[in-house]
């Protein structure tokens, strides 16, 4: 099988996974099965099962009768579902755009003949799929954590994870895998991982700057601010280099200079990832060794922010290190001829021109 056939096959699989993920996203946006709360009564006829969705809630009586209505009052779960109301429709829009770009830029459709334009559209489609997957997995995971945590037990009844949450995880996984496959087919997976890792590093930098603690924790917090700021700066340099170093942009004509640019950008991403990993180590060390946080109420309030910072730094470090390593390893590929030089045609040899 030719390498081009394999690339087209992987591309088709990525588009198919993105389409299926988009369909599941539409399903979970419409169905009111995000949260299932059961009220058990002495009489089975009085038992109620309440289903909460993004836009409406349904009540199923023990007799089998079901009645649905749009939210008309600010209930507890309505506040919890508010982030999903913004993120899920946005993910749907990104998914639709990703499917459109992937269909137009796919090699099998031949809507565009120019390979450079095809690669650009596939890159955009892959990034849109990845963004849609991230926008789905965040509200679904946060809601599942809220249901499982002790704070949700204050609500009368027993809340459980609904089917839409499981479908949401599947949809996010399909969109992420589809987006990654599309980025792999055009050889920009390393760039994509580095860019998303840099975006995550910006989130950790914002967390360390905006949430400024009390004086006893200034020293530790200043260290975190410095590390995350330097990491974000290195990631920004890598992103700037990635804009000019990709083959589809054609900003650099020479293959040799392009390979060197990949290596330098990979180094920037790796250094940024190491700093993000250092931030996580500092936070984890503080959470393990600091005894005052167990008796100080304010320290307990700081712990929640530190846990979020550690989670964001771990994701950012993984993506930056993976992306930087892939870009640095590209220098070990077999050398290609420089596109800025033109080879002379071989001289005619009379030995091979005999009649």
Q: Which carries the bigger pLDDT value, residue 257 or residue 268?
A: 268
Q: Which carries the bigger pLDDT value, residue 60 or residue 164?
A: 164
Q: Cα(253)–Cα(344) distance, rounded to whole angstroms?
A: 19
Question: Strand, coil or helix: what is 279?
Answer: helix
Shared-domain flag, residues 328 and 204? yes
Shared-domain flag, residues 46 and 131? yes
Residue where a domain terminates, one of 186, 201, 224: 186
Residue where a domain terminates, one of 186, 212, 245: 186
Q: Is residue 342 part of a domain?
A: no
Shared-domain flag, residues 130 and 245? no
Q: Is residue 346 part of a domain?
A: no
Shared-domain flag, residues 181 and 123? yes
Shared-domain flag, residues 270 and 194? yes
> How many beta carbons lie within 10 A of that of residue 145, not counting itself?
11
Instruction: Please give the helix or strand (H or E) that residue 210 lies within, else none.
Output: helix 189-210
> How high is the pLDDT of residue 26?
93
> How many beta carbons lie within 10 A of that of residue 222, not counting itself?
12
Q: Cα(180)–Cα(326) distance, rounded to whole angstroms?
A: 14
Lowest-confidence region among 111-120, 162-171, 211-220 = 211-220
Distances from the Cα of 6 to the Cαs of 11, 145, 184, 185, 327, in angstroms? 8, 40, 12, 9, 22
E strands, 63-202, in order = 66-70, 158-161
- Averaged pLDDT for residues 20-36: 89
> How high is the pLDDT of residue 69?
77
Shared-domain flag, residues 213 and 116? no
Lowest-confidence region among 111-115, 208-212, 331-335 = 331-335
Among 122, 272, 134, 241, CA closest to 188:
122
Task: Write b or e for each residue in 170-195: b if 16 or more Cβ atoms lie within 10 A of its Cβ, otherwise e.
Answer: ebbbbbbbbbbbbbbbbbbbbbbbbb
> How high is the pLDDT of residue 44?
59
Q: Is residue 247 part of a domain?
A: yes
Q: Is residue 349 part of a domain?
A: no
Question: Given its phi and psi angles, is residue 217 left (phi above 0), alpha (psi -120 to 50 degrees) or beta?
Answer: alpha
- 49 has which bridge partners? 38, 60
pLDDT (tens digit, 9 = 90+) per residue, 81-118? 778 888 899 999 999 999 998 888 777 677 777 777 77
- Averaged pLDDT for residues 317-324: 86
| Under 8 Å between Cβ of 131 and 175 | no
Residues of the chain with pLDDT > 70: what percent? 70
Q: Cα(175)–Cα(87) distance, rounded to whole angstroms?
A: 15
Q: What share of the chain is helix, strand, coil (3-state, %, to 5)?
A: 70, 5, 25
Which residues, 6+ apart, have CB-to-CB distance to 28 below 8 Å? 34, 88, 164, 167, 168, 171
Q: Record the pTM.
A: 0.69
pLDDT (tens digit, 9 = 90+) per residue, 31-55? 888 888 877 666 655 677 888 888 8
Shared-domain flag, residues 92 and 223? no
Q: Is residue 106 part of a domain?
A: yes
pLDDT averaged over every residue in the chain: 75
Shared-domain flag, residues 24 and 126? yes
Q: Which carries the bigger pLDDT value, residue 285 or residue 295?
A: 285
pLDDT (tens digit, 9 = 90+) per residue, 126-154? 889 988 998 898 888 888 877 776 544 44
- Averaged pLDDT for residues 153-181: 82
> How many beta carbons lie within 10 A of that of residue 104, not counting itself?
15
> How high is the pLDDT of residue 79?
66
Residue where a domain terminates, one of 151, 186, 221: 186
Q: Which carries the bigger pLDDT value, residue 270 or residue 4?
A: 270
pLDDT (tens digit, 9 = 90+) per residue, 198-208? 888 888 888 77
- Averaged pLDDT for residues 213-228: 73
Shared-domain flag, residues 176 and 249? no
DSSP secondary structure, 232-269, as one string: HHHHHHHHHHHHHH-TTTTS---HHHHHHHHHHHHHHH
> Which CATH number covers residue 206?
1.20.140
pLDDT surpassing 80 at residue 292 = no
> Which CATH number covers residue 171?
1.20.140.150
Q: What are the two backbone dihedrals, phi and then psi, of residue 341, each rounded to the nearest 5 degrees?
A: -110, 150
> How high is the pLDDT of residue 290?
60
The total number of structural domains in the chain stands at 2
Which domain covers residue 165, as residue numbers?
A: 1-186
Q: Is residue 256 part of a domain?
A: yes
Q: Cα(38)–Cα(46) distance, rounded to whole angstroms?
A: 11
**pLDDT-derived band of residue 156, with 50, 70 and 90 as boundaries?**
low
Shared-domain flag, residues 181 and 233? no
Shared-domain flag, residues 181 and 242? no
pLDDT (tens digit, 9 = 90+) per residue, 70-84? 765 546 666 677 788
> How high is the pLDDT of residue 336?
47
Shared-domain flag, residues 182 and 195? no
**pLDDT-derived band of residue 332, with 50, 70 and 90 as boundaries?**
low
Q: Is residue 313 part of a domain?
A: yes
Question: Strand, coil or helix: what is 293?
Answer: helix
Q: Is residue 24 part of a domain?
A: yes
């Amino acid at each position: 099988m030719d390498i081009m056939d394999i690339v087209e096959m992987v591309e088709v699989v990525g588009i198919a996974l993105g389409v299926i993920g988009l369909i599941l996203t539409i399903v979970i946006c419409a169905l009111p099965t995000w949260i299932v709360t059961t009220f058990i009564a002495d009489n089975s006829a009085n038992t109620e099962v309440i289903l909460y969705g993004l836009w409406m809630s349904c009540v199923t009586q023990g007799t089998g009768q079901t009645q649905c209505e749009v939210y008309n009052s600010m209930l507890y779960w309505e506040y919890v579902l508010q982030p999903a109301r913004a993120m899920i429709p946005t993910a749907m829009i990104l998914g639709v755009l990703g499917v459109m770009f992937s269909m137009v830029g796919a090699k099998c459709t031949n809507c565009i003949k120019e390979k450079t334009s095809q690669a650009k559209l596939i890159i955009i489609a892959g990034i849109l799929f990845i963004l849609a997957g991230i926008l789905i997995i965040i509200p679904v995971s946060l809601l599942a954590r809220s249901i499982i945590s002790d704070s949700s037990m204050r609500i009368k009844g027993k809340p459980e994870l609904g089917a839409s949450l499981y479908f949401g995880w599947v949809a996010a996984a399909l969109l992420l895998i589809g987006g990654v496959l599309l980025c792999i087919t055009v050889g920009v997976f390393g760039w994509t991982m580095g860019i998303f890792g840099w975006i995550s590093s910006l989130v950790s930098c914002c967390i360390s700057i905006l949430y400024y603690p009390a004086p006893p924790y200034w020293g530790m917090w200043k260290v975190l601010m410095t590390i995350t700021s330097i990491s974000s700066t290195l990631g920004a340099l890598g992103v700037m280099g990635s804009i000019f170093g990709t083959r589809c942009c054609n900003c650099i004509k020479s293959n040799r200079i392009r390979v060197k640019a990949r290596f330098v950008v990979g180094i920037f991403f790796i250094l940024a990832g190491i700093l993000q990993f250092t931030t996580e180590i500092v936070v984890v060390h503080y959470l393990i060794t600091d005894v005052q946080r167990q008796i100080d109420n304010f320290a307990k309030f700081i712990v929640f922010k530190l846990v979020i910072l550690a989670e964001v730094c771990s994701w950012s470090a993984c993506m930056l290190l993976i992306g930087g390593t892939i870009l640095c390893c590209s220098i070990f590929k077999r050398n290609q001829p420089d596109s800025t030089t033109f080879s002379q045609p071989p001289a005619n040899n009379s030995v091979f021109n005999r009649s």
